[in-house]
A and B are shown apart, each in its own frame.
Chain A
Amino acid sequence: MKTKIIVLFLIILNICSGALYALEISGMQIMIIAGASLKKQSIEQGSSARIVTYEVDKPLDEVISFYEAFLNGDSFSVIRGRQNNIFDASVKKNNVMFSLRIYPDVSKPRSSDRGRSPSGFRPDKAKEQETSDLGPRVLHSNAGKTMIQFIW
């Protein structure tokens, strides 16, 4: 009951703070955080996996917390999740499965971020950043923009 209230609260909060919309994955509606705009849709070469990426002008932590509450509240099974300031999870509910990644936007590195490649990180060249098994893990993100990526 408590989790349903939290999810309902999140949806209402999302409606109040901007347009609410959802992404349909295998017939299931997955909530997209308010203010997010579609960045890219593609199909991974060779695997037929669909990849949809959104960008939102909100702090990474806020976006991660939003989706953590959404997934927990709606009883999704999750492999992994938040780790070292990024979120990377394989998610399952009934027969619907997808991966969700939330990470800082690194497509336009700041001039101070030496050694950082256009879409990745070079931990050996930049002291303030680290990597994880999935990708970027930073101590500060680029201009507060956050990327939300769904793969299924």
Chain B
Amino acid sequence: MVKKLLLVIFAFFLSGCSTLYNPATGRNEFIMINSQTEVQLGRSVVNDFIKEHPLVRDQKMQERALAIGRKVAFVSERKDIEYNFYVIEDKELNASTFPGGFIFMNKGLMDVLNDDELAYVLAHEVGHVAARHIAKKIQSNMAYQLLLGVAFAGTGSGSGENAQTIAQGVDTVYNLISLSYSRKDEYEADRLGVKYAYLAGFNPYGAINALEKIKQGEGPSWKILGYFRTHPYVEDRQKALKTIIPEVAKKK
């Protein structure tokens, strides 16, 4: 009886909601912002980010990130946006992903990872984009009007008198991006990352090596530094990856 009642309540809440079947996650999800709005939102924030974090001038390094990034993005389920990969001048071992598929790798990470490891890190970030973790994080933690305001600012349609509000909105988005992902999102991005790296022709075991290298590179404070500040639960993830990798390889 209780189960039936719960089902009725569940069905009531579903009716009238336009949910999305997200092929990356395999779930129906309610995402309030469309892809193009997400891209504009990302563009608004990225413009400020690049001013504060200059891109590396080493063209070969940029091309390496772009080449591997494009390969893993090509096999992802989300193809309605253009993925952009950049390397910034920062020694910290970290990567940042902005709404709309703007992915930034720190130079520090590029220096220590081989191609298979880099493919996993980039594919993991692509996984966050494909699963729309960032969009969900933002829509759950930010006033919708402010979110739209920032997105419209990216198109040049923002009105001048709102400049301060928009700047606050950009800060809010930036702070949300800097927050760590949930355990569930991290596992999901790992699963997708390993899958994309493998499908793109890279060794999926690069994932385990990459996390180990980052841990070692960060030293004893690795839990609060760089990559693991925004991508936590690393020890559990390493364990999970050992199970995921053979499963992914078997499915091909």
CA gap between A122 and B25 in the complex, in Å = 12
A94 to B28 Cα, complex, angstroms:
34
Within the complex, what minimum Cβ distance (angstroms) separates A77 from chain B?
4
Chain A: interface size category: 35 or more
The answer to whether A90 touches B37 (Cβ under 8 A) is yes
Per-residue CB contact flags for chain B residues 143-179 toward chain A (1 = under 8 Å, else 0) read 1110011011001010100100000000000000000
**A39 is contacted by which of B15, B40, B145, B152 (Cβ under 8 Å)?**
B15
Q: A97-B148, A133-B35, A151-B32 are in contact. Are A47 and B18 (CB under 8 A)?
A: no
The reply to whether the CB of A119 lies closer than 8 angstroms to some CB of chain B is: yes
Considering the complex, give the chain A residue whose CB is closest to the CB of B39: A79
A107-B34 contact given A49-B144, A90-B151, A133-B20, CB 8 Å threshold: no
Q: Which residues of B contact A151 (CB under 8 A)?
A: 32, 144
Is there a chain A Cβ closer than 8 Å to B78's Cβ? yes
Q: B36: which of A46, A80, A92, A152 is its contact (CB, 8 Å)?
A: A80
Which residue of B20, B140, B157, B159 is within 8 Å of A135 (Cβ)? Answer: B20
Per the CB 8 Å criterion, the residue count for chain B at the interface is 38
Q: Which positions 18-33 of chain B face chain A at CB distance < 8 Å?
A: 18-21, 23, 28, 30-33
Closest-by-CB residue of A relative to B14 is A119
Q: Is the CB of A149 within 8 A of B18?
A: yes
Whether A77 touches B143, Cβ cut-off 8 Å, given contacts A120-B20, A134-B18, A149-B18, is no
A134 CA to B30 CA in the complex, in Å? 8
Q: Is A118 an interface residue (CB 8 A)?
A: yes
Q: Are B32 and A120 in contact (CB under 8 A)?
A: no
CA of A10 to CA of B119 in the docked complex: distance in angstroms?
53
Q: What is the distance, in angstroms, from B214's C-beta to the closest C-beta of chain A?
A: 31
Q: Are B34 and A92 in contact (CB under 8 A)?
A: no
| Residue B220 at the chain A interface, CB threshold 8 Å | no
* Residue B17 interfacial (CB < 8 Å): yes
Cβ of B224 under 8 Å from chain A: no
- Choose among A79, A98, A136 the residue that contacts B18 (Cβ–Cβ < 8 A): A136
Q: Which residue of B lies closest to A50 (CB)?
A: B144
Please tell me if the beta carbons of B80 and A122 are within 8 angstroms of each other in the complex.
no
Verify A99–B23 contact, CB threshold 8 A: no
**Interface residues, chain B, CB within 8 Å of chain A?**
11, 14-21, 23, 28, 30-37, 40, 78, 80-81, 139-145, 148-149, 151-152, 155, 157, 159, 162
A residues with CB within 8 A of B: 26, 39-40, 44, 46-49, 51, 53, 55, 77, 79-80, 88-90, 92, 94-95, 97-99, 101, 103, 107, 117-124, 131-136, 147, 149, 151-152
Q: Can you list 25 contacts pairing A with B, beta carbon distance less than 8 Å? A: A26-B145, A40-B17, A44-B30, A46-B140, A47-B140, A47-B144, A48-B143, A48-B144, A49-B144, A51-B17, A79-B34, A79-B37, A89-B34, A97-B148, A97-B149, A99-B32, A103-B18, A119-B18, A121-B21, A124-B23, A133-B35, A133-B80, A133-B81, A134-B34, A134-B35
